[in-house]
Copies of this chain bind each other. A is one copy, B any other.
Amino acid sequence: MTTMVATGSKAYTELVGLVREAAVLASVGNLVSWDQETMMPPKGAGLRAEQLSMLSGMVHEKSTHPRVGELLGECEEDRDLLGDPAHAANVREMRREYDLATRLPLELVKALAECASKGMEAWKGARENNDFKAFLPALELTVELNKRKSECLGQGKAADIYDPLLDTFEPGMTAARTAAIFKPLREFTVGLVDRVQGCGVKVDRGPAVIEFPIAQQKSFVEKVAARIGFDFDAGRMDESAHPFCESLNSLDIRMTNRYRADGWADAISSGTHESGHGIYEQGLLDEHFGTPLGMYISLGIHESQSRMYENLVARSAPFWEWGFGMAKEHFGTDFGGASALDVYKALNIIEPSFIRVEADEVTYNLHIMLRFDMERAMLNGELACKDLPGEWNKRMKSDFGLDVCEDRVGCLQDVHWSMGAMGYFPTYTFGNLYSAQFWEAMGRDIPDRDAQMARGEFGAVLKWLREKIHVHGRMWSAEDLCERVTGEPLKSDALMRHLDAKAKAVYGM
């Protein structure tokens, strides 16, 4: 018996050593990617592609090595080992990763990579020329390959072809459950937007679009990021075309942001958004680096942390009670006599628009639900790819009241499908849903949270997130975590309450 334990432990140790090696190499790849977006001189692109392809090949080789499979098998037989919940969680999640990585045949992996690379090119041209037909063949191939991917991953046992794809981004989530959660949210949102548009109140965007020097905006965003909890001794914030957050490990987090002369408010939104991602990654435990216990749970949970800091913290009235004084001092202006409330309102204008990434907090989810329905229908065969623009535009009319005149501001606007990513979009709204549900639970634990934020104190919020969510890594699934933390499975109620309250506060309805 003792020998069995020792063997099991030995296998576990070797297994952890192997996945950790792959993680160190993957962290090099992440640094190399970060550099590509932030520092690399233009002529470096050729070598960079070679470096990244070599590294990803090596990481894949290490992660899918047969020895990993053997050791997993040994660990899964070891009852003593699995008696420890942390070991059990690590083994469970390493199995999941291993299966995902080994179930796709190499020719499909290659076909997907080629489709992504060519699809991206086709999409860029199509968007530029507003020519959906030029993207259609790539889209059709993407749908076809994603169907095959789904079959391989689901091993023909999935209830819905969408499920195995969604599962790669949001483990355990299904299309049916997504549809059920989205249904009330969509009805509510369409109604709320109608009410806002009908209420006759017009909010002044002025304070949000005052021009400030970029360098001043950068230092302002960094001050705010540090204040809400990002540790700049364990990370950086640089500039890139599209903001992102890349983790090497929890002690070296590379975030980026972008700046426009009249975009200080946008810079704060994207800066606090990325800080939310960065704060989550910094909260993972270094001792678990490379193993699932040291990894984020799902894209939805990751996004819940970024949306929480972006929307529930940095778009809140209490935040600006404190932050506006700081902003006035930092930028050396009184914002033309605006009040903290004026700034709060300017940051929370609700207005249907064509472009997802520019959407407000309320209408954003309509964009996501549209995409979820479209990609699901394409995968199910209910929607032919060629009919996508028509369906898209019909939905934009019914849900947003907008007429899409050009596909480049319609179904050609997003990069995701061109990269082969289907089943990804819903995770954005899961982020919003989780963030609101977590935020309500946190509010019960910290009754004076608003007062704290109005004094510029964010320590209690951070501590709560660390203890309830961050330090646990992949100990539980996203929905299990949600139940543990909020006492309920994921629902749309909290988000609807939040958005309703915000609309009332901003539009006085």
Binding site for B on A (CB under 8 A): 21, 24-25, 27-28, 31-32, 35, 39-44, 46-48, 50-51, 54-55, 231-236, 248-249, 251-252, 286, 289
Contact = CB atoms under 8 A, between A and B. Distances in A.
A174 B459 CA distance: 64
A39 B41 contact: no
Contacts of A233: 41-43
A68 to B, nearest CB: 17
Contact of A43 (B24, B39, B251): B251
B248 A21 contact: no
A252 B54 contact: no
A348 to B, nearest CB: 33
Given A21-B54, A39-B39, A54-B21, A234 B28 contact: no
A28 B51 contact: yes
B31 A249 contact: no
B27 A252 contact: no
Contacts of A42: 233-234
Contact of A35 (B24, B31, B55): B31
A235 B31 contact: no
A51 B233 CA distance: 19
15 contacts: A24-B51, A25-B54, A28-B28, A28-B51, A28-B54, A28-B55, A31-B32, A31-B35, A39-B236, A41-B232, A41-B235, A42-B234, A43-B231, A43-B233, A43-B251
A328 B31 CA distance: 40
Given A43-B251, A46-B286, 18 more contacts: A24-B51, A24-B54, A25-B54, A28-B32, A28-B51, A28-B54, A28-B55, A31-B35, A35-B35, A39-B39, A42-B233, A43-B252, A44-B248, A44-B252, A46-B251, A47-B248, A47-B251, A47-B289
A47 B231 CA distance: 17
- The count of identical subunits is 2
Contacts of A35: 31, 35
A41 B249 contact: no
Contact of A236 (B21, B41, B235, B252): B41
Given A32-B31, A35-B31, A35-B35, A234 B41 contact: yes
A236 B39 CA distance: 8
Given A21-B54, A39-B236, A252-B41, A47 B27 contact: yes
A-B pairs, top 5 by smallest CB distance, nearest first, are A44-B252, A43-B251, A43-B234, A47-B249, A42-B233
A45 to B, nearest CB: 8
Given A42-B233, A236-B39, A252-B41, A51 B32 contact: no
A24 B41 contact: no
Contacts of A44: 234, 248-249, 251-252
A342 to B, nearest CB: 35
A279 to B, nearest CB: 14
A8 B321 CA distance: 76
Which of A28, A48, A248, A289 is packed against the most chain B CB atoms within 10 Å? A28
Nearest to A252: B44
A103 to B, nearest CB: 27
Contacts of A41: 232-236, 251-252
Nearest to A253: B41
A251 B232 CA distance: 31
Contacts of A31: 31-32, 35, 51
Nearest to A53: B24
A252 B47 contact: yes
A419 to B, nearest CB: 24
Contact of A40 (B48, B231, B252): B252
Contacts of A286: 46
Contacts of A27: 47, 51
Nearest to A48: B252
A43 to B, nearest CB: 4
A32 B252 CA distance: 13
Contacts of A39: 39, 236
Contacts of A48: 252
A322 to B, nearest CB: 26
